[in-house]
Amino acid sequence: MPKLQPISLIERAQTGGYAVGGFNMHNPETTQALIRAAEIANAPVFLQVGRAVVPHMGLAEAFYMTKRELDKSEIEASIHLDHGTYDEVFEAIRLGFDSIMFDGSHLPFEENIKRTRHVVQVAHSFGIPVEAELGQIPDASDSIVWSNFYTKVEEAERFVAETGVDLLAISAGVMHGVTTIAPQPLEINLINEIRERTNIPLVLHGASGVPVDQLQAAIGAGVHKLNADTDLRHAFRAGLEKVFSQGDRQLEEAMAQARSQMIEATVAKMTEYGCAGKAVGILA
């Protein structure tokens, strides 16, 4: 399969006014679900090796699993490291990831700049775009003091200028996971201001559970990559439970149903994000 230039996925999304979905794989069946959804929707996609799968099977095996499935398809996809540690990003570069995210958001601001700048220098020497994060995304909770998590505009401007990152993940009212209460409305004005001051495409993690009108407003404000995992995992789990609720069944039957329901849920996400119908084939 010819080498993809992942940043072009985002550049086209900027021009077209939509967002590309970033979705995580957990096993072969979830990987197949994301790829099949992209085929059905004719959508570009970031296939993300995330924090849950790395301790489960290791970074290399997760990459090889994804690549094996992707090589069977002709979709327009980037194999993307999600929330990579400092050591993992360099392993990902050696393995051949198409794009990477270095997450130094837990570090002191100056240290985040220093490490991100080095990651960008190395990754760019291999033609690999880098996503980074500033501000922190809280875990799902019914009581979050949001002011403690929002990305600061002045820090974002300096961070982008001094690191050279290609994409910036920000905190503007999203969380990892879904709560039982109404979600926090996104801070669209904050997104707008960060986009104007940094002049690079923005990313929102934790898009599961966020109302569609909020996501579309965020896209209009400058977000062109949306990460969602929880909603898709829930769809997969629902498929498993549907089969096993009938009594003892073969695992393969349950996996097939789970994969089918995750495909449907992923196509719906791609439609909501506006990237359905936007794939143009593998780029040289």
Q: Indicate which residues carry an active-site annotation.
A: 82
Q: Contact at 8 Å (CB) between 130 and 167?
A: yes
Give 176's DSSP letter.
Answer: B
d(CA 145, CA 173): 10
Q: Contact at 8 Å (CB) between 282 and 74?
A: yes
Beta carbons within 10 angstroms of residue 62's beta carbon: 25
Ranges assigned E (strand) in the chain: 20-24, 45-49, 77-84, 99-102, 130-134, 167-170, 202-204, 223-227
SS3 content of the chain, % helix, strand, coil (to 5): 50, 15, 35
Give 43's DSSP letter.
Answer: -
Helix (H, G, I), strand (E, B) or coil at 23: strand
